[in-house]
Each structure stands twice: as C-alpha cells, then as structure tokens.
Structure 1
Amino acid sequence: MQDDLEHCDPKQRVLLVTGMLGAGKTTALRVLEDLGWEIIDNFPIRLLEGLIESSPNGGPGPRPPLAIGFDSRTRGFNPQQIISQVQGLDEREEFELTTLFLDCSSRELERRYNETRHRHPLASDAPASTGIRAERELLAPLRGWADLLIDTTDFTSNDLQRSVRERFASSAPDDVTVTVSSFGFARGMPPLADLVFDVRFLENPHWDEQLRPMTGQEAPVGDYIRKDPGYEEAFARIRDLLLMLLPRYRTQGKAYVHIAFGCTGGRHRSVFMAEQIAAALRQEGFSPTLLHRNLGSRAADLLEGGPRR
C-alpha cells in the first residue's frame, strides 16, 4: 500500500463508485482500499465538494486517491443533481473525477437476492424483481453518463476483484501476476480468463466409482490421470507454451494473466492439471495464485453425462 501512496498525483483523484445494489460495490471498494485508495462508502454526494477540498488528516502534503461509494439508499440520492454537481467539479483543474458504474442483469440480481434472502430496499413487501426494476429506472441517467461500466452478471467475486485491480492499480507491478484456476464447463466458462485449456480429452476419473467422490487434489486421482497416454505430452506442451508466453506478456506490460483449465464438472482433471501447472510455474520463479472455482460443488452424474452402460 505504501508504494501506491508514493505515487500520489498532485491533482486530487476521485473515483465515484455506484451502480445496482448487489452488483459488487462493496467488493470493488475493498479492492481499491487494498490498492492504497482512501475509501468512503454511503457518503451524501451533496457534501462532495467539501470532502475532496479537504486534505487528509487536515494537513498539507500529497493526497491519496479517493474512492466514494454511493447508491440508491444514500441520503439525498438524486441522479440528475449528482451529474450536475460532478460536472461542475470536473471543470476544476485541481480535481480528476471518474465515475464507475457497476451493473448486473436483473435476472442475476434477482437470483442473488433470493439466494441471500435479503429484501430489496425499493421493493417494500413486493418481490425483489419489483425493486430491481424501479432501481434500474432510477439509475438510468447515471449509467448512461458514467465514464466506466463493469457488468458483473457473469463474474465471480474473484473476477470482479481482478477487473478492478487491472483498471485502478496506480502503477503496474514489476512482474506479471499469474492466476491459475480450474473450472467446470457444465457451470460456465470463467469470463476473465486470458488462456483457457480444455482438458476433457483426458480419461475421466469420474467413471471410477472409488475415485468419483475424490478431487484432483488427492493422490489416487492424480495417479489415474497420469496413466493417460496423452497426459505427459499435453502437460509438457502446455507448460512450455506458458513459459514462453509469460515473459512476453511481462515485456508488453501486461500486469495480470489468468490461466484456466476446464473439465466437465471442475473437480478432477482440471483441478489436477491446474495444480501441476502451478507447481511447474513456481519451479521457474513465478508465484501463481491457485483457484478452484467448482471444487466445492456437489458432484452430479448429470454434469458428467450420466452413468456408463
């Protein structure tokens, strides 16, 4: 965080973060805080000018970038007044204002509300869909006016965090940040993967009744996959391709690379291959983050096509 603060701009950089309730504002603000931004959430926007004119801790010196979160629940929320106010501040040379709008499809928002059993603030005793529809109409001017838009409909929390880091890190890291993940095609592809490898060509441990309850992190499953005649060559070629590509991504200034491995259910082959590739990259000096999107998902015969006969 200290490194980020050392790169403070002489202008006061301000990011307004808003959008549909449930689209990920809290997650986005948390990531910005990790990046060295000063965070204020649910702030009355009518007081914005006084806030950004004040120095942190009341003293002189460089000012860290400031991210302000607000939404339809914020007191005095009026999209047209907010736009007019921000336009006036944006004309001043000492400020650099940007607005980020987080959107999400109504269908997905409704699913999230039903899953968490939270009541939509604009729905009162009506279904969540009613509140979502009213909120979308209310926010339409802000959505159309915002400088940046991130649609989180198909995002996991990790996807959103990565997107925010890529857009708002104040300086690029010295090295490329590598994420290696596994996923199940039956539950959809990861929306932000840079490189996707389909490992469904490997023999499937799911068809072994003893291995079926296990995962690709367990030795018997790994031994089974290694015995596939195609495994060793495929692993070596993918490893060598990545070792060629990652330094070139670094040279081109790419800060983040997400490498994803997919199989049918996301519990056996993709998990094992992701683990093995991550280990190989560590041996070559990289420090990949390892994520298994569907490892905790309940194994289901239907995802794998039903029992063999």
Structure 2
Amino acid sequence: MSEQDEQDITHMTSSGAGEAQAIPELVIISGMSGAGRSTAAKCLEDLGWFVVDNMPPALIPTMVDLGARSQGNVARIAVVVDVRGRQFFDNLRESLADLEAKHVKRRVIFLEASDDALVRRFESVRRPHPLQGQGRIVDGIVAERDLLRELRGDADLVVDTSSLNVHELRAKLDAQFAGEEEQELRATVMSFGFKYGLPVDADLVVDCRFLPNPHWVPELRPFTGLNDEVATYVFNQPGAKEFLDRYAELLHIIAAGYRREGKRYVTIAVGCTGGKHRSVAMSERLAARLAADGVETVTVHRDMGRE
C-alpha cells in the first residue's frame, strides 16, 4: 500500500471509532499482470470508490471493518489483489469466507488477456513478469495463470482485455459500474467466429453452425447478420426459430438464478464459423429477448468486420 493509502486508513480509524455504520460494498480487482488492473482501479476511483492497490488479502476484512466505522464516508471499497502480494495470496479464500460470514456484499473482477497480448505489453515497457524469475516472460505468465485459476473460476466478472485499449477498457467498466443503484442483471451478447477462437470471458457459449451458412449464398455473402436479407434467410431455416425460442426460455431460467445468487454480469457468446452472418443475426434476436425480459443488454459483434 502507498503512504497515502495508509494515511487514509488511519483517518478512517480515528474518525469512525465507536460508531456502527452500514457495511461498505466491496470489489476485489485481480487478474493477470499486464491485463489492466491499474486501469480498472483508476476507473473505479473516478467513479467515487475508495481504492487501495496491492492490498494483502488477509487485511481485506480489516479494511471493510474500518470502512463501516467511517461515518458513511467510505461506502464503496475496491482493492487490487495480485501476485505482487503472493506471500499473502493463500489467505484470500479465508478472507472471502470471513466476508461472506459477515454478509459483506462483495464482487470479484478478473482481468484476463491472451499470452501474446501480455508478452507484447511486458516487452513494450521492458519490464520482467513478477513470476518469471530467471526464465522467460511466458514462463511467468504460465505460473500466474496456474496460481489464479481458482480465483478466475469464482470471479463475478471476467474481462478479456486482449483487444482493448485503455479507453475501451474504461468505457466497459464505466458501463458496468455507473449507476450502481440499479441492482439488476447486465448481459453482454457477443457474436464471434469459431475460426478466430472462443471469447475467453464467455460465461455461456451458443453454437449456430447447425444452420446453413449464408456465406455460400452469393447474393448474401457481402452482407452481415445486421442486414434484413441475411436475418430473414437465417430464421427461415429449419430449427432456427425453435432454437431461438427454446434458448430464450433457458436464458429466462438462468437469469432468474443469477439474480438469486447475486451474479450481476453475464457474457453470452454466440458463434458461427466466421462471426459475420448466423451468429450476428442470432445475437441480435437473443439480445432483444433478454431486454424484453428486463435484462440490461449490450450487443457486441467481435469478428463481424474481419475478412
């Protein structure tokens, strides 16, 4: 922690002693080194969160207790936990269990990126990976993925920053955390092409390759699933409308369960071969069904512009 963070905590302790206040909301920011944790922390700070970088996990419950005695001055706390504090990292699960027992509302954001993207970022700043030791950057990345695997699986929100710049990452987090008074489920419906790889931040994956490919229809090939001609072709195929109806019903059940479990973000990846026709048309219809079901929905077409 920085000297300023320590001063702020000291102020919180002295000013709030003896007064019980509402337990602050907590966000834990973690993920791969080089994936944008600092940017995420600065984004939340700009949104009014009290942010502490490189917080030892064992101190998180203490931080929450101090926030509860701050006379309401610290209602939302974000802490960055990463492998720089790896000697304390084993304490994270114990700290999370402690917070759950105290009914602390907490969420985990996990920042992810591909190996290639992380290697490029470390090489561009000419800094070693914190876990590479005497090995290569990629050795440190592999070790870190293994260390964080369980935390990634428990994360409430996984953000893949491989193709995002700083401004795009901030915009994505702004969209998720602005207007926190609304405790509703938020969904991202993302079309993609299987030939370009699965989105690493997908919670659910839908495969539309069982439908005939408009790519092989010459008059439709230049268009995308956003065009009426392509969408009409896709949904006139046997099974297309039935699949949309059944999957929308399934999403209704899943969304209700996510709300009960306190999960507020879900990414639904809809794939076809190239991510241009079938997946785009299906994504648009699924997003419309989710919106009609009261889910705040954003549609992203990851590979639509690729050749």
TM-score normalised by the chain length of structure 2: 0.57
Equivalent pair of 2:270/2:279 in contact (CA under 8 Å): yes
User: For residues 270-285 of structure 1, what are the structure 2 equivalents within 5 Å?
Assistant: 270-285=279-294
Q: Structure 1 residues 64, 220: CA separation in 2 closer, same or farther (over 3 Å shift)? A: same
Q: Counterpart in 1 of 2:51?
A: 39
What amino acid is aligned across from residue 277 of structure 1 in structure 2? L
1:204 paired with 2:210, answer no
CA distance in 2, matches of 1:231, 1:19: 38
Q: Counterpart in 2 of 1:195?
A: 204
Aligned length: 257
- Secondary structure of 2:184's match? coil
Q: Counterpart in 2 of 1:218?
A: 227
Displacement of 1:102 in angstroms is: 7.0
Structure index of larger Rg = 1
Equivalent pair of 1:113/1:119 in contact (CA under 8 Å): no
2:35 is matched with which residue: 16, 19, 23? 23
Q: Counterpart in 2 of 1:306?
A: none
Equivalent pair of 2:185/2:265 in contact (CA under 8 Å): yes
Equivalent pair of 2:21/2:71 in contact (CA under 8 Å): no
1:238 is matched with which residue: 236, 247, 272? 247
What amino acid is aligned across from residue 37 of structure 1 in structure 2? W
Q: Structure 1 residues 273, 243: CA separation in 2 closer, same or farther (over 3 Å shift)? A: same
* Per-residue deviation, residues 21-62 of structure 1 (Å, max 9, x unmatched): 41331343255447742236699x9xx9xxx8xx99xx9653
Q: Counterpart in 1 of 2:302?
A: 293
- Secondary structure of 2:211's match? coil
Unaligned runs of 5+ in 2: 1-19, 90-103, 130-134
Q: Structure 1 residues 283, 71: CA separation in 2 closer, same or farther (over 3 Å shift)? A: closer
Q: Counterpart in 1 of 2:161?
A: 157
RMSD: 5.5
Equivalent pair of 2:189/2:283 in contact (CA under 8 Å): yes
CA distance in 1, matches of 2:252, 2:85: 52
CA distance in 1, matches of 2:286, 2:256: 16
CA distance in 2, matches of 1:276, 1:257: 17
TM-score normalised by the chain length of structure 1: 0.57
* Per-residue deviation, residues 270-308 of structure 1 (Å, max 9, x unmatched): 111010121233334433121222223x22xxxxxxxxx
CA distance in 1, matches of 2:25, 2:259: 27
Q: Structure 1 residues 70, 196: CA separation in 2 closer, same or farther (over 3 Å shift)? A: closer
User: Among the aligned pairs, what percent are the same residue?
Assistant: 34
Unaligned runs of 5+ in 1: 1-7, 84-95, 124-128, 300-309
